[in-house]
Amino acid sequence: MPSISLNESVKKSLEVEKILKKYPEVKTIVSRTGRPDFATDTMGTHQSDIFVILKDKKLWRKKYNQRYFNRRNE
């Protein structure tokens, strides 16, 4: 969000993480807020990246697993 403070940016990232953690298919969530390591990345100082690592597809709930495969085959 433009013009967001660092504290608010961290707060929003934590809110997103909290929502994502409700899904049993999620194994790990990692957030990164702040400047990029490389000058070629135009990410701002208060922008965040959220990485979601999913469990193996065999461990997903059946209805989500079926939706995933149906979308991939379209």
Q: How would you write the pLDDT of the chain (74 residues) with one tens digit per residue?
A: 567 788 888 899 999 999 999 989 899 999 988 776 666 766 666 678 899 999 998 888 877 666 666 666 55
CA separation for the pair 14, 19 (Å, rounded): 9
The domain spans of the chain are 6-72
Q: What is the pTM of this model?
A: 0.67
DSSP string, 17-51: HHHHTTSTTEEEEEEEES--SSTT----TT-EEEE
Q: How far does the chain reach from its first CA to its final CA, in angstroms? A: 33
Q: Is the dihedral of CA 36, 41, 47, 48 positive or negative?
A: negative
